Amino acid sequence: MAPIWDRLERNGVPSVIGAASWQLVEPEEGKFDFTAVDDQIEQARARGMRLILIWFGSYKNADSAYAPTWVRRDEKRFPRAERDPERLLSGRFSIDGPVLSVFGEDLLKADARAFAVFMRHLREVDPQHTVIAVQVQNEVGLLGDSRDRSPLAETAWASPVPSELLACLAERADDLHPWVGELWARHGSRTAGTWAEVFGAGSDAEELFMSWAFSRFVGQVADAGIAEYPLPVYTNAWLGPQPNAEEPGQYPTGGPVARMIDIWQIGAPCLAFLSPDIYIEDFAGTLSSYSTAGNPIFVPEARPDAGLLFITIGRFGGIGFHPFGIEDVPDGHDLFDAYAVIREMQGIITRAQATGAIYGFRVETGQEERVSLGGYEILISGPLDTRGMFGEGTGAAAASLIGYGLLIQTAPERFLVVARGASIRFSRPDAMVELDTLTEGTYRDEQWTPGRVLNGDERYYMFPKDKLRTVQIELLRRLGF
């Protein structure tokens, strides 16, 4: 790991997500080894970086491969989940890994006990708060069937729906996710009954049933850790429904997908947020679906794309964006340039998030985006394709170019724009708007250092395609036309 840590430091990565494997932490029951955890903390601390750790406990990517051998070997004490072989759903992912049943009481106790010891250890070895949050489990759920059909699960399915869940659904009433509200209403909005009686006998009800089971499991494990050390804890979602995985079981049924946020917030109220792992094309739409019910936006997995970073923090008030496999992103990638700029502006950005005076965008060649901000209508255009002017191919013969950035209103007639490969136009319905003064500059510890005043053609195309530029824009409003 040493050369990887060096690369991350060299590229100015402010925080990383690391791993804490139950298999390594408790290789024998009751005997703990934190060597790998402590090394990550020491390496991050030595480089001035922050660390988020994933507790790979009973579940990782819808199977149980990170659970200790002593857990997976004892199937009597720790029963496995079972699927109906005649209803087995095929998807894009393997379902041949070990899967422990979320209904196993001994599994919950063992996982919670180990997580509590892990969190107590963090409290003792990290008074500097190098570790700033912990993810509890990873992409929980069940693949291959819409619900677990083991004997324990069958007993739970035939039991009454917990009154706690139904009372909380009633309290949320019109604020419920429409999918959950409609499913409940479709079966009479009953306030008592078995799962099939209250929500129906199909896969929709079975997904809700599994979401309650997994949320209670994750929430109780998290509670045990928080009692030892109250860091922010959260969990993440393998998205669904999504293209080529429309049915629960083709994606992990029971996970914190967007339509199950209510169920998860009720079942695991200790979780600070529920986070989507986003690899589908509709990035902004996914964040919009998670920006509900008071859920903060934190992206623990995504493509290494600086434009997605700016959408996260600028459009959805995101508190974190972590590309998967950051150690494999090559030196010189524009994501690292974005990190460097943002790191010097953190206070400015968070204050703008608090007041709504910020917007993040990502646009391709030929695309336009319009946004209203602070009384202004702002037209954002993607990169101008000038390659044909220099004898190079355009259109289908050339890859689409990407522009991205942040708009921050810092005064009634002043905007701070950090962008690459985009052009910006301002207008108002009540006045003529002119660009008054455009000043290129940089921030260092939130202190503005002005550079060149931009004139001429640079006023029409302010942000080059090959690098981020920070520009302070003063506007001139003229009444009348």
Residues 250 and 107 in one domain: yes
In a domain, 348, yes or no: no
Q: Last residue of some domain: 284, 319, 343? A: 343
The residues near 80 (Cβ < 8 Å, ≥ 6 apart) are 98, 99, 100, 101, 150
Instruction: Please tell me whether residue 205 adopts helix, strand or coil conformation.
Output: helix
Could you give the C-alpha distances from 367 to 13, 280, 338, 383, 424, in angstroms and in order? 30, 20, 22, 8, 12
Residues 193 and 233 in one domain: yes
Taking the C-alpha atoms of residue 105 and residue 152, their distance in angstroms, rounded to an integer, is: 10
Q: Which residues pair with 378 in a beta bridge?
A: 371, 426
Residues 381 and 339 in one domain: no
In a domain, 405, yes or no: yes
Contact criterion met (CB below 8 Å) for 312 and 318: yes
Q: Last residue of some domain: 311, 343, 375? A: 343
Taking the C-alpha atoms of residue 142 and residue 93, their distance in angstroms, rounded to an integer, is: 12
Residues 300 and 363 in one domain: no
Contact criterion met (CB below 8 Å) for 254 and 140: yes
Contact criterion met (CB below 8 Å) for 69 and 23: yes
Residues 332 and 240 in one domain: yes
Residues 322 and 369 in one domain: no
In a domain, 425, yes or no: yes
Taking the C-alpha atoms of residue 7 and residue 18, their distance in angstroms, rounded to an integer, is: 15
* Res 375: pLDDT: 96
In a domain, 351, yes or no: no
Taking the C-alpha atoms of residue 439 and residue 174, their distance in angstroms, rounded to an integer, is: 48
pLDDT in tens, the chain (481 residues): 889 999 999 999 999 999 999 999 999 999 999 999 999 999 999 999 999 999 999 999 999 999 999 999 999 999 999 999 887 766 556 677 899 999 999 999 999 999 999 999 999 999 999 999 999 999 999 999 999 999 999 999 999 999 999 999 999 998 999 999 999 999 999 999 999 999 999 999 999 999 999 999 999 999 999 999 999 999 999 999 998 899 999 999 999 999 999 999 999 999 999 999 999 999 999 999 999 999 999 999 999 999 999 999 999 999 999 999 999 999 999 999 999 999 999 999 999 999 999 999 999 988 999 999 999 999 999 997 766 555 555 555 556 789 999 999 999 999 999 999 999 999 999 999 999 999 999 999 889 999 999 988 888 778 999 899 999 999 999 876 5
Q: Cα 307 vs. chain centroid, distance in angstroms?
A: 15
* DSSP result, 209-254: HHHHHHHHHHHHHHHHHHHH----EEEEEE--SBTTB-SBTTB-BT
In a domain, 301, yes or no: yes
Q: Which residues pair with 238 in a beta bridge?
A: 277
Query: Which residue, 34, 157, 182, is CA-closest to 101?
Result: 157
* Res 390: pLDDT: 55
Q: Cα 269 vs. chain centroid, distance in angstroms?
A: 18
Instruction: Please tell me whether residue 20 adopts helix, strand or coil conformation.
Output: strand
Residues 315 and 431 in one domain: no
Q: Which two tokens stand for residue 91?
A: 């998807």
Residues 73 and 194 in one domain: yes
- Rg value, the chain, Cα: 25
The tally of domains found in the chain comes to 2
* Res 459: pLDDT: 81
Taking the C-alpha atoms of residue 204 and residue 260, their distance in angstroms, rounded to an integer, is: 11
Taking the C-alpha atoms of residue 478 and residue 434, their distance in angstroms, rounded to an integer, is: 8
Taking the C-alpha atoms of residue 476 and residue 434, their distance in angstroms, rounded to an integer, is: 5
Contact criterion met (CB below 8 Å) for 74 and 146: no
Query: Which residue, 348, 364, 350, 369, is CA-closest to 414?
Result: 348
Q: What is the CATH number of the domain that holds 391?
A: 2.60.220.20
Residues 224 and 142 in one domain: yes
DSSP 337: H
In a domain, 350, yes or no: no
Query: Which residue, 301, 345, 312, 330, is CA-closest to 448?
Result: 345
Q: What is the CATH number of the domain that holds 118?
A: 3.20.20.80
Residues 276 and 323 in one domain: yes
* Res 93: pLDDT: 62
* Res 389: pLDDT: 58
Pairing of the two strands 414-420 and 469-478? antiparallel
Instruction: Please tell me whether residue 270 adopts helix, strand or coil conformation.
Output: coil
Cα three-residue angle 290-291-294, rounded to 5 degrees: 110
Task: Return the sign of the alpha-carbon dihedral for residues 202, 59, 66, 277.
Answer: positive
Taking the C-alpha atoms of residue 98 and residue 188, their distance in angstroms, rounded to an integer, is: 38
Range of the domain at 372: 358-478
Instruction: Please tell me whether residue 253 adopts helix, strand or coil conformation.
Output: strand
Q: Which two tokens stand for residue 368?
A: 């336009």
- Number of CB atoms found within 10 A of residue 18's CB: 17
Q: Which two tokens stand for residue 253?
A: 């049924």
In a domain, 349, yes or no: no
Taking the C-alpha atoms of residue 358 and residue 113, their distance in angstroms, rounded to an integer, is: 43
The residues near 456 (Cβ < 8 Å, ≥ 6 apart) are none
In a domain, 352, yes or no: no
Q: Which residues pair with 235 in a beta bridge?
A: 274
φ, ψ dihedrals at 271, nearest 5°: -70, 130
Contact criterion met (CB below 8 Å) for 408 and 358: yes
Contact criterion met (CB below 8 Å) for 55 and 101: no
Residues 84 and 137 in one domain: yes
Residues 247 and 394 in one domain: no
* Res 384: pLDDT: 78
